[in-house]
Amino acid sequence: MDDESHTTALKELQRTVDSLTTAVLRRAPKTVPRISRRRHAFERGLRRHWGRGLGLYHLTLDQARELGSEINRVVEPAERDQVFQVLTRLHARACRIADEVYCLLGSGHGDGAMNGAAALRSGD
Which string of b and e fits 63-73 if b means at least 16 CB within 10 Å? eebeebeeeee
**Cβ distance 63 to 95 under 8 Å?**
no
| pLDDT confidence of residue 124 | 63
**Cβ distance 42 to 108 under 8 Å?**
yes
Which pTM does this prediction carry? 0.73
Tell me whether residue 61 is exposed, middle or buried, using C-beta atoms within 10 angstroms of its C-beta: 0 to 12, 13 to 18, 19 or more: middle
| pLDDT confidence of residue 91 | 95
Q: What does the DSSP 8-state code read for residue 123?
A: T
| pLDDT confidence of residue 123 | 67
Structural domain containing residue 58: 3-122
Rounded CA separation 54/107 (Å) = 11
User: Would you give per-residue pLDDT tens digits along the chain (124 residues)?
Assistant: 688 888 999 999 999 999 999 999 999 999 999 999 999 999 999 999 999 999 999 999 999 999 999 999 999 988 899 999 999 999 999 999 999 999 999 999 989 889 888 887 776 6
**Cβ distance 112 to 104 under 8 Å?**
yes
| pLDDT confidence of residue 26 | 96
Which string of b and e fits 45-54 if b means at least 16 CB within 10 Å? ebeeeeeeee
Rounded CA separation 109/54 (Å) = 13
Q: How many domains does the chain have?
A: 1
In angstroms, the Cα distances linking 14 to 4, 23, 26, 27, 47 are: 15, 14, 18, 20, 44
